[in-house]
Structure 1
Amino acid sequence: MSARTETDVAHVAAAIGDPSRAKVLLALAGGGALSAGALAAEAGVSNSTISGHLAKLREARLLTVELDGRHRYYRIATTDVARALEQLALIARPLPVRSLNADTRAKALLRARLCFDHLAGRLGVAVMDALRDEGFLAAEGAPPGEAPPGDAAGDTAYVLTPHGHRELGRFGVDTDRLPRRRATVRYCVDWAEQRHHLAGSLGAALTARMFALEWLRHGKYRRVVRLTEAGRAGLASTFGVPNSQLS
């Protein structure tokens, strides 16, 4: 077996680099699946043009396709693709806002959104902070309840504490039964807040539970989520998220 060589970053970067293809990927970054027609509308191109873009994204292994009868639906290939998009957004310049609707959507995305299958934005960061502050998670190199040493947006390894395991079980997230095909506790550096939000299988399970309890609902715009009054009260009482961070 030959040794693994350097990866072809240029090939993937070229696939992402086209503005229309970038819009396709961002439309799917919330973890859902969309038809080619819906993605054409998101990208602002014709139905005939979108097929070429989707082919390039599939060839670069950034998208997968699912068949439902005669219909095809596209989704982000892996959580690593969504994670890479979030990291690219850290160094990308913001797009200009040219309409009231675009401004409203941008503010909603900053407030609370999905990053593939977990919570992001100011709300996601607030939940991550509370999980650490209340001792559900501990950062390596720092006692439970304390911030990690150095830059909070730098490299940090978090672990689930016995307290977190117990309390999350009471909340309805059985951490012993989380999928093992991905890391239990991971984080993304949130591109808007420049701080951590919770990813991994725990982040996905926690977000799914909040939707099941109707603490979260899908918003008007794609990827945007809305915190309900029940969610506001629940996050404060269950995880200690300050009300000042839930606006």
Structure 2
Amino acid sequence: MFETVLVANRGEIAVRVIRTLRALGIRSVAVYSDADADARHVREADEAVRIGPPPATESYLSAERLIEAARSTGAQAVHPGYGFLAENASFARACEEAGLTFIGPSADAIALMGDKIRAKETVQAAGVPVVPGGRDPDLADAARELGAPVLLKPSAGGGGKGMRLVRDLSVLEDEIAAARREARASFGDDTLLVERWVDRPRHIEIQVLADAHGHVVHLGERECSLQRRHQKVVEEAP
């Protein structure tokens, strides 16, 4: 069992992780940018460390500052929450190299499935049908070949951030630029892919949970079709 865990996130998810750590008798370390100095997760943690100015690229997306915060507070593990660096294989690997346990998938697993482009290529190679699309560096050409409407997606993250529905290809270049800006600000990576737009789709998930000891369970099916701005609002299970 860990004695101290650094929570590499902010807001509601950081508060939830901190409260769970407290219930388990584990000391928590929060991190914050200047914009979040008075945030709830900072007040609830046992210790809090400033990691930079308000821009996420200079604080919550800085692997170096997060790892230094973990080292300086004696944390043995890092919980990434969701968003920011939670699906960043480089961050997970940097934690491992620093002697910190990354509470989440291995760096190899994240590299394989956390990136949308690699994940799509992996399942496609296994014979799983995928939505037609394309990727950088031929993004614009692929979009025009598909024909409107198309959906632009950041490859490195989720939560609906940076996703753009393009119904008029005359504004494609502007939409690509806007999607890149949001992806860079949210995930530190502006790589995009494009897919044919599927109108009124059903979003069904079967989530699988595994640990480092080889125990694997599935958590049943989830109906996740109720969304707002490409982000799930309600998940129903089973």
Quick check: TM above 0.5? no
Greater RCO, CA 8 A, separation 6+: 1
More strand by share: 2
More helix by share: 1
TM-score of the superposition, structure 1-length normalised?
0.33
